[in-house]
Amino acid sequence: MTKKKVGIIFGGKSAEHEVSLQSAKNVYDAIDKDKYDVLLIGIDKEGRWHLNESSSYLLNAENPKLIELNKTNKGVAVVPGEDQSQLINVTNASSIEQLDVIFPILHGPLGEDGTIQGMFKLAGLPFVGAGVLGSAVSMDKDIAKRLLKDAGLSVAESLTFKKCDHHKISYENVKNELGLPLFIKPANQGSSVGVSKVSNEEEFLTGIESAFQFDHKIIVEKSVIGREIECAVLGNDDPIASAVGEILPQGDFYSYEAKYIDEKGALLDIPATLTEVEVETVKEQAIKAFEALNCEGMARVDFFLLENGELVINEINTIPGFTKISMYPKLWDISGVSYTELIDRLIVLAIERHERDDKLQNRYF
C-alpha cells in the first residue's frame, strides 16, 4: 500500500505557540508511520515557515516550560492551485513532494480562526479539522455565543466590548448587570490566554487592560458555578460524541498552566461520575453545538453542569490540545479509540470532505 504524505504544521504566531509544539510532538509520535510519511513544517513566532527534520524539529522537547521550535535555513512557501506541488522550498526554489493532507496543530489566532484554513482551500490541500466558517465562528466567543443561543443552547450571560469603546466600560454597570465575580476574556483566544477572574474594581480594570492586549474585542462574562464537563466530537456529516470527562481544577480556575504545563494543575475524572441520562444529554448537546457552529472533523465542547441539572456551554475548541495531558485524545481513548487510530480517522475525514467538496459545481470549466 502506498503511503499517504501528511504535512503536520505547528507553532504559529499566537500566544499558544508552545502548546502547539507540545501537541505536534504527540501527534508525530503517535501517527502510524507504516501508513503515513510525515513532513514537519514549523511556523516560528515571527510567522516564518521552516521545513524541519523529525530528529531535530524541537528544542527542550520534554520540558513544556522551555520547549522551542528549532528554526532551520529551509524556508517554505505555499503555491495556490491543484494538481501540482503546492509547497516550495524557498531556499533553493525546489518543489516539495506533493502532500495528500495537512494536519494543522495550530492553536489560537492565525491557526484556529479560519485564516490558514482559507489558504489551504486556495491551495487545494485537504486539511484536518473545521473549515473556514466553522473555525472562524467557533474562535470568536461573541459570535459563537449568539449562534449557540439561536440553536437553543444555554451559554453564560456576558457583555461584549470593542477596544474603540474602551472609555465606555463601567465597572459599576457591569457589576450591576452580571454580578461578581466576573471573567474577562479576549474574544478570539483560547487556552485561557488573557483570561482573568475578577472580584473588585481594581482587578476588573487590570483584567480589561490584559484582555485588550490579546484582542480588539473582549467579553465580560458572568461567573457560572458548576462542574466543568467536557465532551469530544468527531466526524463530518454524521458526527459522534465521546465519553464524557470532568475537569477538577486545583486552582481558582482551569488556567493555561493547569491545562498544558502543570500536570498536577487539575485532576481529570474520565469518565465523569454522571448518570446515564446526564451523559446522554451532554453528548446530544455537544453534537448539537458542533453542528450549530458548522464544525467538521473534530472539536471539544466544554460545559458547566449546574446543580439544577442545566448544561451551560463554556466554549468549543476546533483544534483541541493534543498534549499528553489534553482532554480530547484522553476522552477518545477511554471511548475505545486509541491516539493512533484517532489521528487516522481525522486524516480520513479530511480527505473525504475534500473529495466531497471537489464534486461541487463551483468552478469555471
User: How large is the average pLDDT for residues 82-105?
Assistant: 82
Sign of CA dihedral 79, 80, 84, 86: positive
Q: What is the mean pLDDT of residues 333-346?
A: 97
**pLDDT > 90? residue 98:** no
255 pLDDT more than 90: no
pLDDT at 84: 57
Asked whether 106 and 20 are in contact (CB, 8 A), the reply is yes
- The CATH topology of domain 158-222 is Dna Ligase; domain 1 (3.30.1490)
pLDDT tens readout for residues 41-58: 999 999 999 999 999 999
Q: Identify the architecture of domain 138-154+225-355 in CATH.
A: 2-Layer Sandwich (3.30)
Q: Does residue 9 have a pLDDT over 80? A: yes
Average pLDDT along the chain? 91
194: left (phi over 0), alpha (psi -120 to 50) or beta: left
Task: State percent of the chain over pLDDT 70.
Answer: 93
Interatomic CA distance for residues 12 and 4, integer angstroms: 25
Residues 35, 4: Cα–Cα separation, whole Å? 7
Reference 116, options 68, 74, 75, 78; nearest CA is: 78
CB atoms within 10 A of CB 62: 8
pLDDT tens-digit map of 205-240: 999 999 999 999 999 999 999 999 999 999 999 999
Percent of the chain exceeding pLDDT 90 equals: 78
Asked if 101 and 351 count as a contact pair (C-beta separation under 8 A), the reply is yes
- State residue 263's pLDDT score: 59
- Residues of CATH 3.40.50.20 domain(s) within the chain? 4-127
Instruction: Kindly state the greatest CA–CA separation across the chain.
Output: 66
| Fold classification of 4-127 (topology level) | Rossmann fold (3.40.50)
Confidence of residue 365 (pLDDT cuts 50, 70, 90): very low
- CA distances to 28, 121, 329 from 78, rounded to whole Å, are 22, 11, 30
CATH 3.30.470.20 segments of the chain: 138-154+225-355
Q: Which three cell numbers stand for residue 71?
A: 528554526
Q: Give yes or no for residue 338 having a pLDDT over 60.
A: yes
Most confident of the following: 104-108, 242-246, 259-263: 242-246
User: What secondary structure does DSSP assign to 94-111, as a single string?
Assistant: EEPPPPSEEEEE--STTT
Q: What angle do CA 346, 348, 352 make, to 5 degrees?
A: 115
Judged against a pLDDT cut of 80, whether residue 83 lies above it is answered with no
What does the pLDDT read at residue 184? Answer: 96
Segment 131-146, tens digit of pLDDT:
999 999 999 999 999 9
Name the amino acid, one letter, at 353.
R
